[in-house]
């Protein structure tokens, strides 16, 4: 009886995990302004553990979710942030960009975009799920990403779920509260350096 109960709990756990990672792009809403986020830790390209709490001790954080090294729009966006990184960091803020790609792919993204700020690996989509930006692309989209763009998502991610984050930006103050966000299911819509600087200035 005990064995059956444990098996039942395991099935329930799998079901809950599956439910958390199969939202459509329309169902993911992103965390709202005013919410205090939970701390998280993740690996960077050098396999070092980076904690949001520790970075917030130095100043506010501009937290960016991007799809992967294979995404041309992501490359352009991160390159634009890098071009203006000195202006952003002059406010005391730090930039962190997150994707579900393993550390070796973070290095590829750094090379393609020129990004010298922190890139983090969101293992099993845990951070994207916590920020409610995690979604399941349509099969036709995955075909385009994996074949035409060379994403090879099952290889570059830990999970076989082939989920992606909606590209989004959150400004988080030193108390861990979201003070501004840019969130749009349209992957081509990204935060501008101008708006990031304007809203950091309001902290």
Indicate if the pLDDT at residue 6 is higher than 60. no
Residue that has been written with the tokens 């100043």 in this structure: 59
Q: Which comes out higher in pLDDT, residue 11 or 69? A: 69
Report the C-alpha gap between 132 and 163 in whole angstroms. Answer: 12
In the prediction, which pLDDT does 201 show? 85
Structural domains of the chain ordered from first start? 2-200 (3.40.30.10)
In the prediction, which pLDDT does 10 show? 36
Q: Per-residue pLDDT tens for 154-178?
A: 999 999 999 999 999 999 999 999 9
Express as a percent the part of the chain with pLDDT over 90: 88
**At residue 6, what are phi and psi to the nearest 5 degrees?**
-65, -40
pTM: 0.88
In the prediction, which pLDDT does 122 show? 98
Q: Per-residue pLDDT tens for 78-96?
A: 999 999 999 999 999 999 9
Contact 40, 52 (CB under 8 A): yes
C-alpha dihedral (202, 167, 163, 11), degrees to nearest 10: 20
Collapsing DSSP to helix, strand or coil, 26 comes out as coil
- Per-residue pLDDT, averaged over 190-200, amounts to 97
Q: Which band of pLDDT confidence, cut at 50, 70 and 90, is reported for residue 8?
A: very low
Indicate if the pLDDT at residue 142 is higher than 80. yes
In the prediction, which pLDDT does 21 show? 53
- Residue-wise DSSP of 126-157: HHHHHTT-EE---HHHHHIIIIIS---HHHHS
Collapsing DSSP to helix, strand or coil, 186 comes out as coil
Indicate if the pLDDT at residue 184 is higher than 90. yes
In the prediction, which pLDDT does 14 show? 39
- Per-residue pLDDT, averaged over 196-203, amounts to 92
């Amino acid at each position: 009886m005990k064995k059956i109960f444990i098996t039942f709990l395991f099935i329930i756990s799998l079901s809950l995990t599956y439910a958390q990672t199969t939202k459509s792009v329309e169902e993911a809403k992103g965390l709202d302004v005013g919410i205090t986020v939970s701390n998280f830790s993740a690996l960077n390209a050098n396999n070092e553990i980076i904690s949001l709490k520790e970075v917030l001790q130095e100043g506010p954080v501009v937290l960016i979710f991007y799809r992967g090294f294979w995404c041309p729009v992501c490359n352009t966006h991160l390159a634009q942030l890098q071009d203006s990184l000195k202006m952003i960091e002059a406010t005391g803020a730090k930039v962190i960009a997150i994707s579900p790609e393993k550390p070796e792919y973070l290095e590829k993204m750094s090379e393609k975009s020129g990004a010298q700020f922190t890139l983090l690996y969101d293992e099993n989509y845990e951070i994207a799920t916590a920020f409610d930006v995690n979604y399941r692309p349509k099969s036709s989209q995955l075909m385009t990403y994996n074949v035409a763009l060379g994403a090879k998502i099952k290889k570059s991610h830990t999970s076989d779920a082939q989920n992606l984050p909606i590209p989004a930006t959150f400004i988080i103050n030193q108390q861990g509260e979201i003070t501004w966000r840019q969130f749009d299911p349209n992957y081509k819509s990204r935060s501008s350096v101008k708006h990031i600087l304007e809203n950091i200035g309001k902290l």
